[in-house]
C-alpha cells in the first residue's frame, strides 16, 4: 500500500492557495459572493499585529466561515501582502490527517519558498479541530513567532469554546459568526430598499427604528427568513428550499448531534440527545422545566441538564432564564425558555410554516431573540402568577433597562389595555416608562395607566436590532472590539 508523500501534500497546498499563481486572486465561488456584514468586524482582527493573538473564528456549521476566511485573504492581497506569505489549509482534508501545526508550517515553507521562521506570514487553518491538541500548538506558535498571524476556524463550536477556554487564555481572540441576521439576509438579497432609515440615523445621531415602505412585502420576506434565512447557501438555492431537511437537518444538525457532540463529550445515547433536541426545537420560545422534560422522556434531570449545556455550546440552542415581577432572579432555575439560535432549523426538522401557521408567533419571537444572541447582551424573561414579559434587559444592580413583549398580531394595538396585568404592571413596578410591543403591521404609540407603549412590526424590530448590533460594533475602536472578543492576559 502506497503512503501519502510530501509531494502529494505540497501539491494539495498549492491547489488550496490559487493566489500564488499569476492572477493573485482567490478562487470561485468565494470571489463572486457578497461578504457578510460581519466581515468588516472580522478583518481588522485578522490584519492587526499590534496584539499577539491568534484569531479563532467560531460558529455553527455552514454559516459562511470558510467564505469569510477567503474574503479576508482577498482583502490582504488587495492591501499588498505578498501572495505566498498567505497560506490556507483546509485541515479536514484527509491528506493532512495526523500532521501537527509545526509540520504544516514546514510544508508551507517547502511549497512556497517562504521562511516562516523569519518572514511575516498569515496562516489560515480552516476546521482546525481536526488537528489533535490544536489549541496547545496554536498557542505555542503565537508565543514563539511574533511575525506569524494565525487565524483558525472550526464548526465543532463546542470543541473550540471548551479548548480555547482551557489553553488559549490571553492568546486567542474568539470571533463568533452566527447564522444570518434578518438585516444580513435582506442585504445579501439586495432587498434593503424595502426599508427606510429613520431620520435620526440619517442625521448620524441616535439609532432609531427603521421604517417599512411596504410592510406586507417586508413581512413576506420575514416569513421567508423564518423558514430559510439562517444560512447563506439556502437563501440563494431554490433546490435546498424545496427540501430544507436534506441540507439543514442532514448536513448541519445531524452532524452536530451524531458526530461533533458525541465525540467531544463521550455521549453514549445519541438517540436520547436527538429526541431532546427535537423536543426543544418544536417548543422553541416556550417555557419548559427539567422536571417536565425528565418525566416525558424518562431521562434523569442531571443528564438532560448536561445535554442542554452541550447543545448550547454547539450554538444550536440558547437558554434564557426567568425573573419575577420585580425582576429578581430565582434561586433555583427550575423553569426557563429555550430558543433555537436560528428559526429556520425548525422548518428543516418539521416543515416550512405558512403565513397563518400557529407556530409563527413562536418563530417570530425566536427570530427576535436570535438577533440579540449575536450581541454580548444577556436577556431574561419575566413570569409570575398573573403575567409574563417576553424580553427584559437588566442593567446595573440588576434593574430592568427596557422590556419588550413579542406579538405577531395587531389586536393589541387596538386594545392595549389587555396588557395591563402583564407588561404595564411590570413596567410600573420597575419604573419603566416606554416599553415596546411588536405587532404584525402597525406602528403606533398608546398610553395605558401612564405607561407609553410603542408598537412596532416584528419584522422592523428584527431588522433594526441586527443592523444596530453590527453597526454599533463597527463604531468601536479596534481595542474595544478586542476587549469584546476576549481580553489578553
Pairwise CA distance, residues 81 & 73, whole Å:
9
Provide the β-strand partners of residue 151.
Answer: 55, 124
pLDDT of residue 472: 77
Q: Which cell is 301 given?
A: 434531570
Low-confidence ranges of the chain (pLDDT < 70): 1, 156-169, 199-207, 474-489
Identify the burial level of 338 via C-beta atoms within 10 angstroms of its C-beta, where 0-12 means exposed, 13-18 middle and 19 or more buried: buried
Return the CA Rg of the chain.
24
C-alpha cell at 262: 458525541
Which of the 8 DSSP states describes residue 452? E
Q: How far apart are CA 327 and CA 384, in angstroms?
A: 10
Q: Are strands 287-289 and 54-58 parallel, antiparallel or unpaired?
A: unpaired
Tens digits of per-residue pLDDT, 359-404? 999 999 999 999 997 787 899 999 999 899 999 999 988 899 999 9
**What pLDDT digit, counting tens, does each position of 191-226 carry?**
999 999 886 655 544 457 999 999 999 999 999 999
Name which of 139, 246, 248, 196 is nearest 489 in CA terms: 139
| CB-side neighbour CA atoms (13 Å) of 129 | 21
Residues 6+ apart with CB under 8 A from 276: 293, 297, 299, 304, 307, 308, 311
Would strands 54-58 and 86-90 be described as parallel, antiparallel, or unpaired?
unpaired
Q: Which residue has the cell 415596546?
A: 436
| Among 391, 378, 383, 373, CA closest to 437 | 391
Do 449 and 424 contact (CB within 8 A), yes or no? yes
pLDDT at 206: 43
Pick from 478, 468, 475, 484: nearest CA to 175: 484
**DSSP output for 94-142:** GGGTT--HHHHHHHHHHHH---TTTS-EEEEEETGGGSTTHHHHHHHHH
pLDDT value at residue 165? 60
C-alpha pair distances (Å), 252 with each of 9, 244, 279, 446 = 29, 11, 17, 44
CA distances (Å), origin 148, targets 47, 49, 326: 11, 9, 52
Of 89, 109, 124, residue with least CA distance to 16 = 89
The pLDDT score that the predictor gives to residue 205 is 44
Asked if residues 4 and 95 have their Cβ atoms less than 8 Å apart, the reply is: yes
On whether the CB atoms of residues 384 and 270 are closer than 8 A, the answer is: no
pLDDT of residue 455: 97
| Per-residue cell: 199 | 431620520
Amino acid at each position: 500500500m502506497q503512503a501519502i508523500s510530501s509531494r502529494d501534500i505540497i501539491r494539495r497546498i498549492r491547489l488550496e492557495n490559487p493566489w500564488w499563481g499569476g492572477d493573485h486572486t482567490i478562487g470561485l465561488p468565494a470571489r463572486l459572493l457578497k461578504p457578510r456584514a460581519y466581515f468588516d468586524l472580522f478583518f481588522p482582527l485578522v490584519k492587526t499585529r499590534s496584539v499577539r493573538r491568534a484569531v479563532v473564528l467560531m460558529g455553527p456549521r455552514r454559516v459562511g466561515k470558510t467564505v469569510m476566511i477567503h474574503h479576508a485573504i482577498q482583502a490582504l492581497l488587495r492591501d499588498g501582502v505578498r501572495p505566498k506569505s498567505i497560506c490556507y489549509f483546509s485541515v479536514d482534508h484527509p491528506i493532512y490527517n495526523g500532521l501537527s501545526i509545526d509540520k504544516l508550517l514546514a510544508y508551507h515553507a517547502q511549497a512556497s519558498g517562504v521562511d516562516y521562521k523569519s518572514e511575516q506570514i498569515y496562516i489560515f487553518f480552516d476546521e482546525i479541530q481536526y488537528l489533535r491538541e490544536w489549541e496547545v500548538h496554536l498557542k505555542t506558535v503565537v508565543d514563539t513567532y511574533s511575525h506569524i498571524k494565525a487565524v483558525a476556524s472550526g464548526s465543532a463550536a463546542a470543541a473550540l469554546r471548551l479548548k480555547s477556554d482551557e489553553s488559549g487564555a490571553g492568546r486567542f481572540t474568539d470571533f463568533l459568526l452566527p447564522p444570518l441576521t434578518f438585516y444580513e439576509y435582506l442585504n445579501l438579497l439586495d432587498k434593503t430598499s424595502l426599508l427606510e432609515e429613520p431620520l435620526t440615523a440619517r442625521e448620524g445621531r441616535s439609532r432609531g427604528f427603521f421604517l417599512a415602505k411596504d410592510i406586507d412585502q417586508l413581512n413576506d420576506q420575514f416569513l421567508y427568513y423564518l423558514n430559510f434565512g439562517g444560512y447563506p447557501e439556502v437563501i440563494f438555492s431554490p433546490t435546498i428550499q424545496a427540501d430544507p431537511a436534506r441540507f439543514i437537518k442532514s448536513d448541519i444538525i445531524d452532524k452536530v448531534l451524531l458526530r461533533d457532540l458525541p465525540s467531544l463529550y463521550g455521549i453514549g445515547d445519541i438517540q436520547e440527545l436527538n429526541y431532546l433536541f427535537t423536543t426543544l426545537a418544536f417548543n422553541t420560545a416556550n417555557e419548559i422545566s427539567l422536571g417536565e422534560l425528565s418525566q416525558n422522556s424518562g431521562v434523569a434531570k442531571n443528564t438532560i441538564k448536561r445535554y442542554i449545556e452541550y447543545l448550547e455550546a454547539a450554538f444550536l440552542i440558547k437558554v434564557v432564564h426567568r425573573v419575577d415581577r420585580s425582576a429578581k432572579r430565582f434561586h433555583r432555575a427550575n423553569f426557563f425558555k429555550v430558543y433555537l439560535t436560528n428559526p429556520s432549523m425548525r422548518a428543516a426538522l418539521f416543515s416550512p410554516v405558512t403565513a397563518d401557521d400557529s407556530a409563527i408567533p413562536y418563530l417570530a419571537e425566536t427570530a427576535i431573540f436570535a438577533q440579540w444572541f449575536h450581541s454580548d447582551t444577556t436577556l431574561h424573561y419575566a413570569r409570575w402568577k398573573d403575567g409574563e414579559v417576553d424580553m427584559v434587559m437588566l442593567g446595573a444592580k440588576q434593574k430592568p433597562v427596557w422590556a419588550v413583549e413579542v406579538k405577531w398580531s395587531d389586536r393589541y394595538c387596538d386594545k392595549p389595555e389587555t396588557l395591563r396585568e402583564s407588561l404595564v404592571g411590570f413596567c410600573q413596578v420597575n419604573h419603566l416608562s416606554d416599553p415596546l410591543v411588536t405587532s404584525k403591521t402597525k406602528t403606533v404609540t398608546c398610553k395605558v395607566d401612564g405607561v407609553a407603549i410603542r408598537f412596532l412590526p416584528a419584522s422592523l424590530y428584527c431588522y433594526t436590532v441586527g443592523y444596530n448590533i453590527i453597526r454599533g460594533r463597527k463604531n468601536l475602536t479596534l481595542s474595544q472590539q478586542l476587549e469584546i472578543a476576549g481580553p489578553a492576559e
